[in-house]
Amino acid sequence: MVSPFVHGFLARLRREEGFTLVELLATMVAGLVVVGALVTVLSTALQQTSFTFTRVDATERARVTLTHIEDELHSACLVNDVTPIEGGAQGSQDSDANDLVFVSQFGTSANPTPVEHEITYNGTNHTLVENTYAVTGGSDPTKWVFASTPTGATKLLLTNVTQIANPSTLPVFQYFAYEPYTDQNGNPAEMLMDGSASVPGTSSLPNPDPLSTSTGLSATDAGNTAEIVVNLQVGAAGGSFENSNKAGTSDPVTDSIVLRFTPPPDAAGGTTATYGPCS
Cis peptide before 167 (omega within 30 of 0): yes
DSSP 113: P
CA angle 125, 126, 127 (to 5 degrees): 90
The SS3 call for residue 18 is coil
* Mean confidence (pLDDT) of the chain: 81
Structure confidence at residue 102 (pLDDT): 92
Report the predicted TM-score, pTM, of the whole model to 2 decimal places.
0.77
Q: Which whole number is the average pLDDT over 218-231?
A: 91
Question: What is the domain partition of the chain in residue ranges?
Answer: 47-81+160-272
Q: Per-residue confidence at 135, pLDDT binned at 50, 70, 90? A: confident
> Within 13 Å of residue 278, how many CA atoms lie on the same side as its CB?
20
Mean pLDDT of the region 94-102: 94
Query: Per-residue confidence at 117, pLDDT binned at 50, 70, 90?
Result: very high
